[in-house]
Chains A and B, each alone.
Chain A
Amino acid sequence: MGIVTPDLGLIFWMTLSFGILLFILTKFAWIPILATLHEREKTIEDSLHEADKAREEMKLLQAHNEDLLRQAKEERDSILKDARNIRDNIIEESKTKANQEYNRIVEAAKESIHYEKMAAITELKNQIATLSIDIAEKILKETLANKDAQKQHIDKMMDNINFN
């Protein structure tokens, strides 16, 4: 029967030391350990949650970025197209303008050449006239100065004239 009869002394020491152990462990071990565990678990959970959220946001951001990129591309294309159009227009315009200018210049040049030519011709004509008059005058002066020769000449001419 010895082993199934609880011993008072052992019950006393057991109650005392187990009580003390329970108190000390609760105060100095379980509360800090459980608090740390809880905190750690919460942190991990929160971090996972946040990571999920961040992933979601990343996805959204990526979609947004792609959208932006597509828009940017479209804009670039349209800008390029516009620029090409503008360039073509400018070239076309300048070509026309250049042609016009060229034509105008050529026309003006032709005109001015014509005027100059006419002026030159007129002047030449005038000078020729003057010169002719001068020459004629000189010739006449010379010729008329020599009366004998003139008479001779007239005579000669008279001779030649055939009065028929």
Chain B
Amino acid sequence: MYLSSKIKNLSTKIWALAIIIVLFFTNVSNSNASEEKHEKEKFNAGEMIIEHIADAYEWHIMTIGETHVSIPLLVILIDEGKLVTFCSSKFHHGLESYEGFKISHEGKYKGKIVKLSTNEKGEEIESRPIDLSITKLVLSLFIGVFLIGWLFISISRSYRKRGMAAPKGMQSLLEPIIIFVRDDIAKSSIGEKKYQKYLPYLLTIFFFIFLNNLLGLVPFFPGGANLTGNIAVTLTLAVFTFVITTLSGNRAYWTHIVNAPGVPWWLKIPVPLMPIVELVGVFTKPFVLMVRLFANITAGHIIALGFISLIFIFGEMQPALGYGVSVVSVIFYVFMGLLELLVAFIQAYVFTLLSALYFGMAIEEHHHAEEHH
């Protein structure tokens, strides 16, 4: 009891600290300079949606009138071997440049930090330094990682403390999911004998994707970032799966790729058609993983934002129409939100299941391999 109350106390303190930090660093600025320009600007749904699902150098929380409330983030650049760090508030929401760097507004590097320089002809050109900035998505990633780490280490502690006793609290919420991943994903796809080696990875990706999907559905800070709908994130996850699959591939797996059993010889010699197809398959598997998660989550965000955009599009035409549409939009938004809750789970499940299947294929014994063809 004492320990748990201590933990609770500690977690309360951590949250309080986090909130204070957020409030302290929250940058409230008035962009009066661009007021006239803003007034003329029409609401552009496409731009707004892309802005919301893309990465950013500050965490925009809200805009009241012309006042932007956002959390400035750390910019880390490596420019010609030199480390440059500064706060993203120096850009004043991307309106100003700082030390020769600015956020590009158009072209190839739109929305990214670029270095301004002039070429021989005297034209201003933009080049991209190595950008390791703590962007909105990186911060969201840190929050997600911290949450998952804290959650599971705390329930692991209660496992250690309670031992054989029945699960309690958070433990009893997560235990069925852990058992589901273990029995229905790992055991059934990889097999009784070897699943244990892959289980920690499968559990980690499952909860990482699931929790970050859920966080992405929360419309305000610290959620709302389209982390699992970002191609870099899904790419990294897919690469992890690919590396593990490739490293654990046994002889049967490689034989299957180079010399697929049950395939006529003329498909292999002289033109190695099947080996090429199989080799392409090795790379398409993680590629499909990457695209599926990215597309599903991004699509969910786009549709949800689309419904909200409808209110503003109609509101611009006629304020009353905006109010009228808002009712329908909100209903659809809620419906989409519920659907996305389901998708959050399904995508985490599918990603984990397919990873487990690939591991299972990589370590399958030879006599099983023939049965598949």
Which residue on chain B has the smallest CB distance to residue A41?
Answer: B179
B138 lies within 8 A of A13 (CB): yes
B156's contact among A7, A11, A29, by CB below 8 Å, is which? A29
Complex Cα distance A34/B175, Å?
A: 10
Complex Cα distance A28/B196, Å?
A: 16
Is B368 in contact with chain A by the CB < 8 A criterion?
Answer: no
Contacts of A28 in B (CB 8 A): 152-153, 156
Which residue on chain B has the smallest CB distance to residue A43?
Answer: B164
B156 lies within 8 A of A33 (CB): yes
Which residue on chain B has the smallest CB distance to residue A24?
Answer: B149
A25 lies within 8 A of B135 (CB): no
Count of chain B residues with a beta carbon within 8 Å of a chain A beta carbon: 51
- In A3-60, the 8 Å CB interface with B consists of 3-15, 17-18, 20-22, 24-26, 28-34, 36-37, 39-40, 43
Q: Which of B93-101, B228-236, B261-269, B346-354 lines the interface with chain A?
A: B228-236
Contacts of B175 in A (CB 8 A): 37
Majority DSSP secondary structure for residues of A touching B: helix
Contacts of A8 in B (CB 8 A): 130-131, 232
Contact (A31, B232) CB under 8 Å given A14-B141, A21-B149, A39-B164:
no
Is B69 in contact with chain A by the CB < 8 A criterion?
Answer: no
Q: Which of B200-208, B275-283, B330-338 lines the interface with chain A?
A: B200-208
Is B28 in contact with chain A by the CB < 8 A criterion?
Answer: no
Contacts of A10 in B (CB 8 A): 55, 135, 137-138, 141, 230, 232-233
Contact (A4, B149) CB under 8 Å given A9-B138, A39-B164:
no
Which residue on chain B has the smallest CB distance to residue A36?
Answer: B159
Which residue on chain B has the smallest CB distance to residue A22?
Answer: B204
Complex Cα distance A28/B239, Å?
A: 24
Contact (A18, B152) CB under 8 Å given A5-B231, A12-B132, A30-B199:
no
Complex Cα distance A34/B200, Å?
A: 9
A37 to chain B, nearest CB (A): 7
Is B160 in contact with chain A by the CB < 8 A criterion?
Answer: yes
Is B122 in contact with chain A by the CB < 8 A criterion?
Answer: no
Which residue on chain B has the smallest CB distance to residue A10?
Answer: B232
Contacts of A3 in B (CB 8 A): 50, 53-54, 230-231, 298
Contacts of A14 in B (CB 8 A): 141, 232-233, 236-237
A15 lies within 8 A of B54 (CB): no
Is B309 in contact with chain A by the CB < 8 A criterion?
Answer: no
- In B196-248, the 8 Å CB interface with A consists of 196, 199-201, 203-204, 208, 230-233, 235-237, 239-240
B101 to chain A, nearest CB (A): 14
Contact (A29, B230) CB under 8 Å given A10-B55, A21-B208:
no
Complex Cα distance A79/B328, Å?
A: 96
Contacts of B164 in A (CB 8 A): 36, 39-40, 43
13 A–B pairs (Cβ distance < 8 Å), ordered by A: A4-B294, A9-B135, A10-B55, A10-B137, A10-B141, A10-B230, A11-B236, A14-B141, A22-B240, A26-B200, A29-B156, A31-B200, A33-B155
10 nearest A-B pairs in the assembled complex, by CB-CB distance: A29-B152, A10-B232, A6-B232, A26-B200, A14-B236, A30-B200, A29-B156, A36-B159, A13-B138, A9-B131
Given A13-B134, A13-B142, 10 more A-B residue pairs with CB atoms under 8 Å apart are A7-B112, A8-B232, A11-B235, A11-B236, A14-B232, A29-B149, A30-B204, A33-B155, A33-B156, A37-B175
